[in-house]
Chain A
């Protein structure tokens, strides 16, 4: 297990893991979420191949109502 920070909260996940497997683990539809990994955008097309490492910081965001 490795420790990540996801949206500011600690999260333990089994390694190896990718952005896609993390989203699957959290039960999120990959096409509905945008991901920032250590301050850089993780493109949707590369969720499968973007490997996660211990202590990575992720931001997962989605669209909500707003003006």
Chain B
């Protein structure tokens, strides 16, 4: 596959993988391995003072994967900025997946607070990858603010519904000056392939892998879906038509023309 370039950095894989909801760290690590991903997301949470740490990072090879912390749980720009700063203080590179989701039911991103946080974080030197609704106008504002990608949702997080925001994502892709990463809602490799066929630069998947009966196997399937979609996009898909357009010659039939 051709390389994915984000903020001047080159990646071999166009599949990003989340680390949440896996039944064990071992299953998560196996899924990362077979996804062949280069970028993996993690979240930040308060440590439980009464319980010894459950060390996620012991299972993620930092030489192999770029750790992309998210600001999940943030309800406004201020909380997102605090989380980003904490992630950097925890020894991460200054890359941040910016998420501001005040609504607990659909986890839809708040566009105003996301833009506000992005402006602050870009100024502080962060490479900002904002999770957004598939809103082309917001995507434009964020790009003007200097974000490194835009990450429109296909469907709400964890729903496995696929690319329900197709038409709006197509406009975002058409107008984008940074990579477009379709994030959230992708439940099957065909969904990932669809996003890539449309010209998305990458996809991010978590739930679909974590809830699979065999996460590592599903991760490999998604990797194939992403690769197939990318190759199809580069090869150039045919135009969608209303009427039939014969594949076989329309001459030489076993009848006399009248």
Which residues on A are within 8 Å of B, measured CB to CB? 6-9, 11, 26-29, 31-36, 39, 41-44, 59-67
Contact = CB atoms under 8 A, between A and B. Distances in A.
Contact of A62 (B47, B85, B184): B47
Contacts of B44: 34, 61-64
Interface string B45-64: 11101001111110000000
Contact of A61 (B19, B57, B86): B86
Contacts of A61: 44-47, 83, 86, 90
Interface string B33-75: 0000000011111110100111111000000000101101000
Given A28-B53, A34-B44, A34-B86, A65 B91 contact: no
Contacts of A8: 46
B55 A66 contact: no
A49 to B, nearest CB: 15
B55 A32 contact: yes
Interface in B93-149: none
Contacts of A33: 47, 53, 90
Contact of B56 (A26, A64, A67): A64
Interface stretch (B20-28, B165-173, B245-253): B20-28
A65 B57 contact: no
Residue of A28, A59, A66 most packed against chain B (CB within 10 A) = A66
B86 A36 contact: yes
Given A33-B47, A63-B43, 10 more contacts: A28-B47, A36-B82, A41-B89, A61-B45, A61-B86, A63-B57, A63-B69, A65-B43, A66-B43, A67-B19
23 contacts: A7-B49, A11-B49, A28-B47, A29-B53, A33-B47, A41-B86, A41-B89, A44-B91, A61-B46, A62-B44, A62-B53, A62-B56, A62-B90, A63-B44, A64-B44, A65-B19, A66-B18, A66-B42, A66-B70, A67-B20, A67-B184, A67-B204, A67-B207
